[in-house]
Structure 1
Amino acid sequence: MSEPTIQFRRLAEQVADQLRRRILLGELADGSILPKEDELLREFPVSKPSLREAMRILEAEGLLRVRRGKLGGAVVRRPNAANVAYTIGLVLGSQDVSLSDVGGALRQMEPACAALCAERADRGHMVVPALRALHAEAVEAADDFQSAISASRRFHEALVALCGNQTMIMLAGALETLWSAHEQGWSTRVTDDGIVPIDERLAVLEEHRQVIDAIESGDAHRAHDLAAAHLITAQHYPGSAGMVDPAMVRHWDH
């Protein structure tokens, strides 16, 4: 590799490092538009190719989304579970990993999150009310298949999001996002609402209620075991036998 190419790459990486730091610190807000190229060149004394390479680095990392056209620009995207889910999906998809394998990982991680929820000293006002509200919404939507699937997935995602451990929230949250994207994609293709009878939907929701009760009482062991037992039956749907498709995450990114 020639010296000019090395220098070009080094300058691009330096610019990317500075912009990445601003994004991670929140100095560049999620959803904001980066300044125009001319403004960035005034701030960073590098060539246009170096600046554009820096943008490509950040875009590849998922920290920028470049929009083309008259209303175009580089849109800031702070890292979240959906970004991680997409990256994990790419890796698993490239290795022909089955969705059931993702389910197996969730059967280990989600019960641990339920236990962490039960261990939170502030669970009475930070965890339980949110889970109760989601449960009530799911019960209300039980007679509508797609709404019931959506409400149920939000409950599972909340168990992770409210556990209080940031590393687990990111890692388990990414797997929840990956699973939810596939399950919701499957639900939209279902033409027979009776594929999951209403009594089965209500039974699932009763298991959710028991997990919430265990969390509220602070019984981490029971919350863990109830969540683990629930997932063994709750993860079965026709699409779960397929392979991981990272494109599903992009489609259902919420």
Structure 2
Amino acid sequence: MVRTEPACRGGSGLAGSRPRRAHGGEGNNIDHARRGEALSDGAQFRQVAPVRLYQRIVEQIEQAIARGDLKPGQRLPSERELVTQFGASRPTVREALRVLESNGLVRSRHGDPNGPEILPFSSDRMTKEMARLVQFDNVSIAELISFRMILDGSASLLAARLRSEEELSAMERTLAVMADAIETGYEEFSKADVAFHEAVAVASRNSLIEVCNQVVRGAVLSLISDKVAHAHNSTALMRESLRHHEEVLEAIRAGDGPAAASISRRKLYEYYAGYVPEDERGPLLALMDDEEG
């Protein structure tokens, strides 16, 4: 709540006192200044929105998590203790906890006498929001796949230059699982596919590439995985995908970053282009222009 200062008594010229008449322009300006009136009408202000108490509680807990005062696996105090600490009502504290839980920051278990558990970061919420952007036409499927081509290409390039032998072995193991899963079915194949890209992203030594790859890849799969799984030629598609992954791995093993990036972008284009309207494929093809020469 904004407080207003009480009006001053006497001839101060502030609100609540009788204004003095000035003689002449300069005196008039001085009198205006004494009364606190603006000489310019250029400043523009907006109304302020009230902040609800539960939002203040959410902010404090978010800040404690950001500072590292609260770490994943730790527990918040019980609801009763939070009511006491914040000096707020039980419904207000419950609303704050509901918001924190919906944001993926805490988890409450029904009947658990302990406070909510602090959760580690998860890209699941971001993945859902990215998929919603495409579903509601804010982002096209072409843009989403184009962005994935950019991310995968960068991850492959860096992995080729920075990977360790252990990370290379992890990539090889995922391809072995992919090969076995071709006969098992698309679901197992897709899990191994995801594991390969996660291994490449880890080897890139860039946590933002890891997170963005998880989000964009998850959004793409949520939109078209059913189409791939139920395609009449799904087995052929899986075999083709495995071959492309093997080519990427070979370039990473050889330490050839540009080749790894180029193959990665190309294999994604060949795999997903059929799900993009032909007149929207320009940005995807532009990412492979350097490969034509």
Instruction: State if a TM-score over 0.5 links the two structures.
Output: yes
Aligned to 1:174: 215
Say which SS state the counterpart of residue 211 (structure 1) adopts: helix
Kindly tell me: are residues 212 and 59 of structure 1, through their superposed partners in 2, closer, same or farther at Cα, counting changes over 3 Å?
Answer: same
Query: RMSD of aligned C-alpha atoms?
Result: 3.3
In structure 2, which of residues 54, 70, 74 is the aligned counterpart of residue 27 of structure 1?
A: 70
Structure 2 portions without partners, runs of 5+: 4-48, 278-293
Aligned to 2:182: 142
Structure 1 portions without partners, runs of 5+: 242-254
Aligned to 2:171: 131
Q: Deviations over 1:74-107 (max 9, x none)?
A: 4543322222212333344333544343112111
Q: Which structure's residues are more often helix, by fraction? A: 1
Work out whether residues 131 and 223 of structure 2, in 8 Å CA contact, stay in contact via their aligned partners in 1.
no
Q: Answer yes or no: is 1:164 the counterpart of 2:205.
A: yes
Structure-2-length-normalised TM-score: 0.65
In structure 2, which of residues 261, 266, 289 is the aligned counterpart of residue 224 of structure 1?
A: 261
Shift of residue 206, structure 1, vs aligned partner: 2.1
In structure 1, which of residues 191, 195, 209 is the aligned counterpart of residue 233 of structure 2?
A: 195
Amino acid at match of 2:206: N
In structure 1, which of residues 64, 67, 74 is the aligned counterpart of residue 106 of structure 2?
A: 64
Q: Deviations over 1:153-207 (max 9, x none)?
A: 332343334321112222232101212333444456x2x7x52244x43332122
Shift of residue 51, structure 1, vs aligned partner: 2.0
Structure 1 moving runs of 4+ over 6 Å? none
Matches within 5 A, 1:1-254: 9=52, 11-24=53-66, 25=68, 27-30=70-73, 34-65=76-107, 69-70=110-111, 74-95=116-137, 97-120=139-162, 123-146=163-186, 147-186=188-227, 190=230, 194-198=232-236, 200-235=237-272
Distance (Å, rounded) in 1 between the aligned partners of 2:225 and 2:136: 22
Higher relative contact order by CA 8 Å / sep ≥ 6: 1 or 2? Answer: 1
Distance (Å, rounded) in 1 between the aligned partners of 2:204 and 2:147: 17
How many residues end up aligned between the 2 structures? 230
Distance (Å, rounded) in 2 between the aligned partners of 1:143 and 1:77: 37
Amino acid at match of 1:166: S
Kindly tell me: are residues 33 and 27 of structure 1, through their superposed partners in 2, closer, same or farther at Cα, counting changes over 3 Å?
Answer: closer
The structure that has the greater radius of gyration is 2
Shift of residue 33, structure 1, vs aligned partner: 5.7
